[in-house]
Amino acid sequence: GAGVSQSPSNKVTEKGKDVELRCDPISGHTALYWYRQRLGQGLEFLIYFQGNSAPDKSGLPSDRFSAERTGESVSTLTIQRTQQEDSAVYLCASSLPDRYQPQHFGDGTRLSIL
Amino acid sequence: LAKTTQPISMDSYEGQEVNITCSHNNIATNDYITWYQQFPSQGPRFIIQGYKTKVTNEVASLFIPADRKSSTLSLPRVSLSDTAVYYCLVGDAYNQGGKLIFGQGTELSVKP
């Protein structure tokens, strides 16, 4: 079956521009996660959705970052007024809502800020 | 959230068994231990999960001692394609508001 799909796979933009990253989770996965991974680093948790709700947004790095999810499906991560330090791979994962369910990851969006 | 410690890197040769140990001294009673594998330019992929003793699947084995303060991922007869970063995680995203700490992982390099 289809896995987690992220688009675009690569995004190059100028500093100060806004970007929108998209994640299509596996059908039926009500839990959705966003992570950031800088070059050579581990994954940094950003935000988690259970259904369309994000109970805790404290992982978002700044108020330039926002995320939403609709229809318990597609999620978008928006970065406003991008800065060079936002350059990273942004990974999305989804899972079933039960305890200890493994997360299924997409291959990420590689974001480069010039 | 339980913190994990694992070696930054390991080297091996094709056909050898590789054991990667992860320390998690402050694991909670209800925490499970999960391992993921990540290839370059890909998202992490679930390998194995366990709570105690030993778990085995078609890819790996996971050994967890009685005190659960550490765990060892065992990869039998590795091949070049097992070159990847391996992450040990402790906890449960469902009950932790989605937060799981991936850390820097162990970069395994398999040589011919």
Best mutation target among A26, A75, A77, A103 (most B Cβ atoms within 10 Å) is: A103
pLDDT tens-digit map of A63-104? 999 999 999 899 999 999 999 999 999 999 999 987 788 899
Q: Which has more pLDDT, A2 or B75?
A: B75
Alpha carbon distances (Å) from B63 to A20, B38, B50, B59:
42, 21, 8, 14
Sequence-ordered alpha helix ranges (H) in chain A: none
Q: Rounded mean pLDDT of chain B?
A: 92
Chain B residues in contact with A43 (beta carbon < 8 A): 44, 87, 102
Using CB atoms and an 8 Å cut-off, which of residues 34-63 of chain A contact chain B? Answer: 35, 41-43, 45, 47-50, 55-56, 59
- pLDDT on residue A1: 56
B85 vs B104: CA distance, rounded Å: 8
Contact B43 A59 (CB under 8 A): no
pLDDT of residue B94: 67
Query: Which residue of chain B comes nearest to A104, CA vs CA?
Result: B45
| pLDDT tens digit sequence for B36-69 | 999 999 999 999 999 999 999 999 999 999 999 9
Q: Chain B contact for A4, CB < 8 A?
A: yes
* Intra-chain end-to-end CA distance of chain A, in Å: 37
Q: Residue A54: what are its φ and ψ, rounded to 5°?
A: -115, 100
Q: Tell me whether B112 touches chain A (CB under 8 Å).
A: no
What confidence category does residue B1 fall into, taking pLDDT thresholds of 50, 70 and 90? low
The token duo for B37 is: 């594998």
- The string of pLDDT tens digits covering residues B6-40 is 999 999 999 999 999 999 998 988 889 999 999 99
Determine the Cα–Cα distance for residues A81 and A71; give it in Å rounded to an integer: 27
